[in-house]
Amino acid sequence: MNADLHCHSTVSDGWLTPAEVVRRAAANGVTLLALTDHDEVSGLDEAIAAAREVGLTLVPGVEISVSFRGETVHVVGLGVDHRNPVLLAGLAQVRSGRDERAKRIGEALEAAGIRGALEGARRFARNPALVSRAHFARHFVATGLMPDVNTVFRHYLARGKPGYVEHEWAKLDDAVGWIHAAGGVAVIAHPARYRFSDADLDALFDSFAACGGEAVEVVSGAHSEAEAQKFASLARRRGLLASRASDFHGETESSVDLGHCEPLPPDLLPVWSRFA
Ligand code: AMP
Ligand code: MN
Ligand code: MN
Ligand code: MN
């Protein structure tokens, strides 16, 4: 079993179409794949059809943007019914704030002397309803202003930088509720990436448990070995299911390719015990 339960396509901020993601995953030996675009499930039908052709199992997923204690937290939903009206309405609500936020990012960058960033970002966004900071970053790189997207985030797009604007995403209990309404399992994505104190992180997992959240990404393309160990302990302590995920966005932007993550520690109960 090679499970990879978090990645992106052109429906959000990935570089490959849903079908291309599935074919690349299959070529890399992935047997169980979840496509989890940001706040959007419209790539799943294409991914499911492609998965049938190449003979891998596609778990319908989504990565929902949540605001918690002033930080953006990502909650992945796995095994969702992507036609469920509660989930669709919730995601539509989250996406509706994105366009207005993109305009504010454009204005903030304009004020910092960067012209045309919004138009540039929109050229990179294959889905007009889903303009992400990643698309702004690609525009910077394409125009030669910065060498790579990581540098753009460090100088312009991370909190405290000129192109960062505050935004209110979904509430944690709403996001988990939509996932559950759609029959899915809720997973805290890449927990080491949040700039939380230990107390905030505890509060996040307490609130997540209180609304019935089931799992945590232990092995993630965004985690070091030490971070994976830290969240393996947390999964044990809190009795959470464990997920394994590349968070692949594209060849030039991801350090870990589809299916190339480390295995989960063998004593943890994998989240795919729910699907496979
Ligand atoms: P958004 O949902 O519009 O706030 O964009 C967040 C996305 O930007 C993430 O899902 C990543 O794909 C990307 N991202 C965030 N931080 C970084 C970073 N430091 N370097 C590269 N990409 C990043
Ligand atoms: Mn992303
Ligand atoms: Mn994420
Ligand atoms: Mn992601």
The pLDDT tens digits for 121-148 are: 999 999 999 999 999 999 999 999 999 9
Helix and strand numbers, DSSP H then E, in the chain: 9, 7
How high is the pLDDT of residue 234?
98
Query: What's residue 131's pLDDT?
Result: 98
- The predicted pLDDT at position 276 comes to 73
Mean pLDDT of the chain: 97
For residues 175-194, average pLDDT: 98
Band of pLDDT at residue 217, cut at 50, 70 and 90: very high
Q: What percent of the chain has pLDDT over 70?
A: 100
Contact partners, residue 122, CB within 8 Å, separation at least 6: 102, 128, 131, 135
Cβ–ligand 1 contact at 8 (below 6 Å): no
**Ligand 4 ion: nearby residues, β-carbon < 5 Å:** 63, 247
Q: Which of 228, 225, 240 is nearest to 270 (CA)?
A: 240
User: What is residue 275's predicted lDDT score, i.e. its pLDDT?
Assistant: 85
Ligand 1 mutation pick, 64, 71, 109, 132, max ligand atoms within 8 A of CB = 132
pLDDT of residue 63: 99
Q: Is the CB of 138 under 6 A from ligand 1?
A: no
65 Cβ below 6 A of ligand 1 = yes
Q: Indicate if the alpha-carbon torsion angle 260, 132, 34, 213 is positive or negative.
A: positive
Residue 39: what residue type?
A: D
**Cα(137) to centroid(ligand 1), Å:** 9
For the full predicted model, state whether its pTM sits above 0.85.
Answer: yes
Asked if residue 261 lies in contact with residue 220, where contact means CB atoms within 8 angstroms, the answer is yes
